[in-house]
Amino acid sequence: MLLLTPRVVRFGEATWEDVSAVVVDRAARRKVVEWSDLGPHVALADVPEQEVTVRVVQSLTRDAPDGPRPGDAGQLSFDTSPAGTDASRRRVRAQAVVLDVRHELSVKGGATRTVTLVVISSDGAADPVAVEAAD
């Protein structure tokens, strides 16, 4: 899921502004693929274990010495809508832990920070990303 409209993301007590994109990726961490004796094509496939990660890309316009650190945990939340307006606005929430913080600097793009987080399910079975109508 690629979201281009959230300009502000909240993580724990911090507020990250000037966000240019939020990317939610879902990956199979364990997969089961089996074939039958009847032919060369897959007859059964399952993904019993998944990992959901979120990347928050933020433009930096000033020094950011107090940014997130790997291991920081908290609730990640932001509002998004298809056109970047209040119409059809949805709130995305998830418990998350910071895995990685990277900074880039370029003449054309300026300074950016990319924070990668892993999303935690409340019980291991429920989808760890909640999407609901925003107030």
**Per-residue pLDDT tens over the stretch 7-56:** 899 999 999 999 999 999 999 999 999 999 999 999 999 999 999 999 99
Q: What's the DSSP call for residue 62?
A: S
**pLDDT above 80 (res 93):** yes
Measured CA to CA, the distance from residue 51 to residue 98 in angstroms comes to: 14
Give residue 83's pLDDT.
65
From residue 37, alpha-carbon distances to 34, 40, 41 in Å are: 10, 8, 10
Give the SS3 label for residue 20. strand
Closest of 63, 62, 75, 65 to residue 117, by C-alpha: 75
Q: Is residue 56 a contact partner of residue 117, using CB atoms and an 8 Å limit?
A: yes
Q: What are phi and psi of 99, to 5 degrees?
A: -100, -35
Measured CA to CA, the distance from residue 114 to residue 112 in angstroms comes to: 7
Give residue 63's pLDDT.
75
Give residue 66's pLDDT.
79
pLDDT band at 1 (very low <50, low <70, confident <90, very high): confident
Q: For residue range 60-77, list pLDDT tens digits in order.
A: 887 777 789 999 999 999
Q: Is residue 74 a contact partner of residue 113, using CB atoms and an 8 Å limit?
A: no
Q: What angle do CA 80, 75, 24 make, to 5 degrees?
A: 50
